[in-house]
Amino acid sequence: MQINPNITPNILADLQQSQSMLNSALQQVATGRSVSVPSDNPAASAAMVQNTIETGNVDQYTKNISTVLASVESASSVLSTVVTALTQAVSLGTEGANGTTNASDLKAIATQMQGILSTVVSQANASVAGGYLFGGTGTSTPYTEDTSSPTGYTYNGNTDATSVVVGDTLSVQVNLPGSQIFSDPSNNVLGSLSSLVTALQSGDTSGIETATSSITSAIAFIGERQAFYGNAENQLNSQDTFLQQETVSLASQATNLVGVDEATAATNLSQAETDNSAALAATAKVLPNTLLNYLSNPS
Amino acid sequence: MGGLNATLNIGVRALDAAQAALDATSNNIANVNTPGYTEEVAQLSEDPLTQSGGEITGGGVTMDGIQSVQDELLDLQIQQQTSSQSSANTESASLQQIQTYFTTTGTDIATALTTFSNSLDALSASPISTATQQSVLSAGQDLAQAFNTTANGLTSAQSSANGLVTTSVAQINELIQQIAQLNGQIEQLTNSGQNDSSTEDQLNASVQQLSGLTGISVTQSKSGDTIMTGNGTPLVMGDQSFTLQTTTGSDGFQQVLDSNGSNITSTLNGGQLGGAIQTRDQTIPGMLSQLNSLASQFSSSFNAAQTQGLDSNGNPGLNFFAVPTGSAEAAAGITVSISDPSLLAISSVGTGSSNNNVANLSAVLSQALPSNSVSSTGGNPSAPLATSTPLTNGSVTSIADASTGATFTFTAGASSTIASLQAAIASAVTAGTLSNGTGLSFNAAGHVVISTTTTGDTLQVSSSDTVLGQFNSTSGKTPANAYASLVFNIGNAASNASTQYTALGKSLLQLTNQQSSVSGVNIDDETANLIRFQTAYQAGARIVSTIQQLNTVALDMGSSQSY
């Protein structure tokens, strides 16, 4: 059998292959990715869909946390201020209930109490970034003065709670409506403060005592509400930490799936370059080689 | 008669032979790069001995003709491989075009799903902000658009494959007419006892070209090639060609008819035509149906979540997505049907929870999609399926009945239909292994919902055991998973097609090498032959001139003039 005399198709195929290896090595170095289209690695491409969506979600969960954490922290500090005010109110009430206090002193205490009441009301109307902390999801000022109400104030907010999605299966309730903190039927903080003011103004000692004791129990009640916010804050913070780890592991998963190790890519590229030059050099040597080169011209 | 004249005759024959061999050699050199050319060799044989006056002398050389060097088996193998390679090439080219729609480009479905999911998450943090509501709406529109673009990309690849069917058939018809003509010429030449290698080379080149267009089987004979499609539809017999026709089928695509008008589309494989048909009728429709069921299931689940809540005005939620009734156009026609952000159903029915429905909306993205519903009216199909509807994907396994402790198992097999599932459910109820209301739950429409905790598949049956839903490959998967598996399928198909193309290319190169080594022209050989036959010609000429001198000497014998 004669040897295949026509090596051109072989040479062309080899050159094409070495060129395409060079191209793909170059692309990997240039893009830093080993998978550009799904056919490069179908399984990795499918896994990357999941990875992209999860990464997007984790980013959004993190944003959600930072959005609501501010309001949860404010709410928590507002409640601390309220507890301080209430403690002050209890001591004023105790002072007023003391039978030795005279009428003018009681009036002075009543004025002080009125100040505390306004402080608590203004705290209950606190807002962060345009939204009321204790108005449910309503957009109107939570508490306004209302002389017809026995407590002196009307709640204008709603009873809606906001739950924020901060994980694939985790959503955290981040607010309590004011009606469950400041005007709860079982422990009406604003009502107790108002009746203390009224009792002090009228010098009603037993009224002062009743109001003071209900404010004392309100301190414990507010403390429970504080625990709610503290708990939400803890949950959000620990979820934030988890999400940071998740971001890192998703990023490393993405690198494993479609990324390319720079050192390997660079080595591959230089290997492909060498192969390509070798193939070209060999072609240049082989192609012009025929018997005709060695025959002398016919005389 | 012996003597000088006989020798002169031998010399002339030697010149003829050398001349013919030089002809063949120069023709070989001239055609060194001609496709389909096979090396020609002058066939020489020794002339019968002549006996003259008791002496036996050689009779010289005879030129029997010029013959092509061919290996027919190799030719056939090359034709087959060419068909397969060309088919893989067509498929690969089409899939390469398609898969760009499934890469992360920023407008693909994966990106759109991410944005949509993020916009819903953001909505949970600030449910009453018009800006976040608006961003859910725009992200929904982007998602619908991503579905539209991807579906259009698939259908446009499908219609370009369809265009390729028409052009391939036209090319095939042209070639088979040409082959029939060549067959006729060869038959005539054979009948008149001639052998024309150039016509055969032309025929081989045409058959080779035809094999790149469609899979063929070739029978070679003295009167040319008989050519049939892989399935046995005749294309060329002797000098007769049977042209193919195309006609628009009920699906709007070109169907291929044989010369009798029977539809042979589905039986054609191999070659550019086979590849185009495979891509158009199998590969792309498979992907489209996966995409369509994802679009329709996703939109119906999201609409169900939307309609279960209340919008910002306190009205029951309206459908968010609108999907055309024909499920085949779900992905191409999906749109967002609400334009006012306040129509997003953020709150759930009841009090004390303002944005609770947002969690239901986001859950659609993170939870498994329900089994494919049959009607377009949301989760509850309006009409039962035909009982002959096949149940091929998925299975109902191990539904534990709380009251009896028994389990009900049904695995959908190749021949399973809704009727067989109905029968299984009915006999389980009769046998007491399955009792209504205990192992099963009823949904709002009064349909029994069977769900398997192990696979997450859900199947709906009405309380009268009429199956209303069917299994689907997407069921039990989250939208992201369903899309990821589509990406995997497409990437896998594209990579398989191109691997196949490369592998066939390598084996084809091997075969062509072999063919070249048999029929190819080697310049070195031909150059050496040139010298060899040149020398032979010179030697033959020397015989002639020697005899001429001898003749002169003989004629001059007795004459004194020259001496």
Over range A131-137, report the average pLDDT.
Answer: 81
Cα A172 vs. chain centroid, distance in angstroms?
Answer: 11
Round to whole Å and give the CA distance between A58 and A243: 6
Count CA within 13 A, CB hemisphere, residue B30: 7
Q: Which residue has the higher pLDDT, B403 or A117?
A: A117
| Per-residue pLDDT tens over the stretch B79-95 | 888 889 899 999 999 99
Are residues A229 and A82 in contact, defined by beta-carbon separation less than 8 angstroms? no
Report the percent of chain B where pLDDT is more than 70. Answer: 77
SS3 B408: strand
Query: What are the tokens at A112?
Result: 């002080």
| A131-145, B364-378, B524-538: least confidently modelled range | B364-378
- Cross-chain Cβ contact B522/A163 below 8 Å: no
pLDDT higher than 90, residue B386: no
pLDDT on residue B381: 38
**A138 class by beta-carbon count within 10 Å (0-12 exposed, 13-18 middle, 19+ buried):** buried
State both tokens at A119. Answer: 């402080």
pLDDT: which is higher, A184 or B56: A184
- Which of the residue ranges A177-181, A187-191, A227-231, B456-460 has the most confident prediction, judged by mean pLDDT? A227-231
Q: Inter-chain contact B356–A163, Cβ cutoff 8 Å?
A: yes
Sequence-ordered alpha helix ranges (H) in B308-350: 330-333
B415 pLDDT tier (thresholds 50, 70, 90): low
Q: Which amino acid is at B467?
A: V
> Structure tokens of A135?
């108005």
Residues in chain A within 8 Å Cβ distance of B354: 136-137, 158, 160-162
- Do A6 and B113 count as a contact with CB atoms less than 8 A apart? no
SS3 category, A78: helix
Mean pLDDT within A233-243: 92
Nearest to B114 among A10, A47, A52 (CB): A52
Question: How many angstroms separate the Cα of A177 from the Cα of each of B114, B279, B355?
Answer: 32, 60, 14
What are the sequence ranges of the domains in chain A? 57-242
Cβ contact, residue pair B516, A137, below 8 Å: no
> B488 and A46 in contact by Cβ < 8 A?
yes
Q: Determine which of B32, B104, B107, B310 to mutate to test the interface with A (most A C-beta atoms within 10 Å).
A: B104
Mean pLDDT of B376-396: 42
Supply the pLDDT for residue B389. 53
In chain B, residues 80-139 whose CB comes closer than 8 Å to chain A:
95-96, 99-100, 102-104, 110-111, 113-115, 117-118, 120-122, 124-128
Q: Which residue of B has its CA nearest to A298?
A: B531
Instruction: Determine whether the interchain pair A3/B517 forms a contact, defined as Cβ–Cβ distance below 8 Å.
Output: yes
Closest CA to B10 of B42, B39, B52: B52
Mean pLDDT value across residues A262-272: 89
B114/A56 CB distance under 8 A: yes
pLDDT tens digits for B435-467? Answer: 443 334 444 333 444 433 323 333 444 333 333
pLDDT value of residue B407: 56
Q: What angle do CA A244, A249, A250 make, to 5 degrees?
A: 95
**Model ipTM value:** 0.71
- Predicted pLDDT of residue B147: 92
Extended beta strands in B267-416, E state: 309-310, 321-322, 335-336, 347-348, 395-400, 407-411
The dihedral region occupied by B237, where left means phi > 0, alpha psi between -120 and 50, and beta the remainder, is beta
Q: Is B518 on the interface with A (CB under 8 A)?
A: yes
Residue B489 tokens read as 């399928």
CB pair distance less than 8 Å for A57 and B114:
yes
The yes-or-no verdict on residue B67 having pLDDT over 50 is: yes
Please determine, for residue A132, whether its predicted confidence score (pLDDT) is greater than 60: yes
pTM exceeding 0.80: no
The DSSP symbol for B128 reads T
Tens digits of per-residue pLDDT, B11-35? 888 999 999 899 899 988 888 887 7
pLDDT, chain B, mean: 77
Q: Tell me, what's the pLDDT at B408? A: 58
Q: What is the mean pLDDT of residues B54-63?
A: 78
Q: Do B356 and A52 count as a contact with CB atoms less than 8 A apart?
A: no
- Listed by number, the residues of chain B in 303-362 with a beta carbon closer than 8 Å to a beta carbon of chain A are 347, 351-356, 358-359, 362
What is the pLDDT averaged over residues B340-347? Answer: 83
The set of residues, in sequence order, having a beta carbon less than 8 Å from that of B88 and lying 6+ positions away, is B275, B497, B498, B500, B501, B504
Asked whether residue A194 carries a pLDDT value surpassing 90, the answer given is: no
Task: Report the topology of domain A57-242.
Answer: f41 fragment of flagellin, N-terminal domain (1.20.1330)
pLDDT class for A127, splitting at 50, 70, 90?
Answer: confident
